[in-house]
Structure 1
Amino acid sequence: MLIAEDLTLLLLDDVKGTWLLDGSHRGPVLAGAVLTELVLAGRLQPEPGPDGRQPGPKAKLVVVDDAPLGDPVLDAALRRIGARRPSRADALLGPVAKDLEHELVSRLTASGAITARQETVLLFFPRTTHPAADPTAERSVRDRVASALRGGRADDQRTAALVALLSVSGRLPKVVDPASVGLEKKELVAAGRAVAADDRIAGGVKSALASVDAAVMAAIIVPVVVTGSS
């Protein structure tokens, strides 16, 4: 499964089938997961800094290989990004997020991991929720995340990226019960940051992932600040 699918499973309440992250934030976080996947696949990387120096978290990202990966979600994102000039990650979140949530939920429903349930809220307003149907896939994801948090480091880049996105979203303590990994809430948050900052990630990849994480964080924080000050 894609990192974005793993993230979707974790961000959907297993019983209620509702999201643990509000709608204005889901798009950037899920799109960030897709950008992360493209970085780890070697399709997207940051432009080199001046004089060949290591690119920073605000470096523009560029497609270095536009060959299809064979996944409709990734290939659609690759086409959208490839049609643009090198751009900072924050400028890519919107185009990549288009129709993404619907596609991810549809795929997970088709695979049997979640189900679609029709409900009525306040007697009049219909909504569709997506409780867990087959816990096998999510259990595997949770086991990887829990193992990384207990040890403060992930066994692979995909898990490290998943923990980083959960940390950036602020939902890590909602997704993972701190007690289940033997940590207090503050310790869990710190462990998430440690996993995300793991220096075993190669320099260029780490810079690109830092760009994505910074863009997702900005996309989440700015609406909150604006709403709070209005």
Structure 2
Amino acid sequence: MTTLTHRGRRAEAGRNLDKKPDSEKDAPADRDLNDDDPGDFKDIHLTLMEEVLLLGLKDKEGYTSFWNDCISSGLRGGILIELALRGRIHLEPLSIRKKRLLERKVLLKSDAPTGDVLLDETLRHIKATESAETVQTWIELLTGETWNPFKLQYQLRNVRERIAKALVEKGILTTEKQNFLLFDMTTHPVSNATEKQRLVKKLQESMLERWVNDPHRMERRTLALLVLAHSSDVLENVFASLADDKYNVAMNRTKDLLDMDPEVEAAKARGAEMIWAVLAAFNKS
């Protein structure tokens, strides 16, 4: 698992966070009509996976750190949370036999298309499985980390590149070719710094000015993004531009949040069980 205390990359990440956002207006996203908390879904036009990748990208270079081996599984966790927040999947109900989050299976709630290629591909996989799988198993299957050759079909391929292309289509990234001595690589530098700044500012404020000291009072998408940024080892990029005192406060509050018992918090959380289940899966890995 990642650590919340490494600060070696602060200077590098901080160079990309100088501009202030001049707009925080987004387009609406798909939402579950049965959800009674529309505040979590208003003004959204990026998926959780797109936000995580955007946080992990080096702005000018256009690629994630070569040393980051967590982001692939983090993005798959984001897909599961996004589908749950959109009302497409949910965890099986609590029972006497299966009480723990990581024992409960992921069930299909609706196979209605979301309009996002990765989300819809994952929906088809979940629908096609003969027996339901747990959150942890689905993260492994979607990442391709399985020894069962019959389940390799569930692997999502080229996820980072596909998410980057979606961000290019939305005008947030651009596409370039870079030469790395022995090979050429397609990169996606940030072309819309305002959008990334809006995202960074939102997370910084959630841990500072708008800190509520209770995850159940946080917007679920904000809570989910903090969990995924931590699991994908990109959380350092969020707080790197802060002054030392604020950096320490934000990191300590985030650590306290992520150190909470997912089992206990999920029992309190209406509609956010999948977020805590994903955190539990990464805590165990």
Q: Specify the code of the residue in structure 1 equivalent to 2:94.
A: G
Residue equivalent to 2:90: 45
**Which one of the candidate residues 193, 197, 213 is aligned to 1:135?**
193
Q: Percent identity?
A: 23
Alignment counterpart, residue 101 of structure 1, candidates 146, 160, 180: 160
Structure 2 vs 1, CA of residues 82 and 180 (structure 1 numbering), >3 Å: closer, same or farther? farther
Number of equivalences: 217
Write the mapping of 1:15-26 to structure 2, written as runs, cut at 5 A. 15-20=60-65, 22=67, 24-26=69-71
Query: Which among 10, 16, 31 is matched to residue 55 of structure 2?
Result: 10
Give the aligned partner of residue 253 of structure 2.
191
| Compared CA separation, residues 200 and 55, structure 1 to 2 (3 A) | closer
The partner residue of 2:274 within 198, 208, 214 is 208
Question: What's the offset of the Cα at 1:133?
Answer: 0.7
Which residue matches 1:63?
108
Q: CA deviation at 1:36?
A: 0.6
* Contact 2:177 2:185 (8 Å CA) reproduced: yes
* Ranges in structure 1 where 5+ consecutive residues have no aligned partner: 220-230
TM superposition outliers: structure 1 runs of 4+ over 3 Å? 20-24, 51-55, 94-97, 152-155, 193-202, 216-219
Conservation of the 8 A alpha-carbon contact between 2:102 and 2:280: yes
Letter in 1 for 2:58: D
Q: CA RMSD of the aligned region, Å?
A: 2.9
Counterpart Cα distance in 1 of 2:174 and 2:235 = 23
CA contact (8 A) 1:4 1:33 kept: yes
Considering fraction of residues, name the structure with more helix.
1
CA distance in 1, matches of 2:67, 2:232: 10
Residue deviations 1:111-156 (CA, integer Å, cap 9, x gap): 22111221122x3322222211111221221121111121256752
Deviation at 1:69, TM superposition (A): 2.2
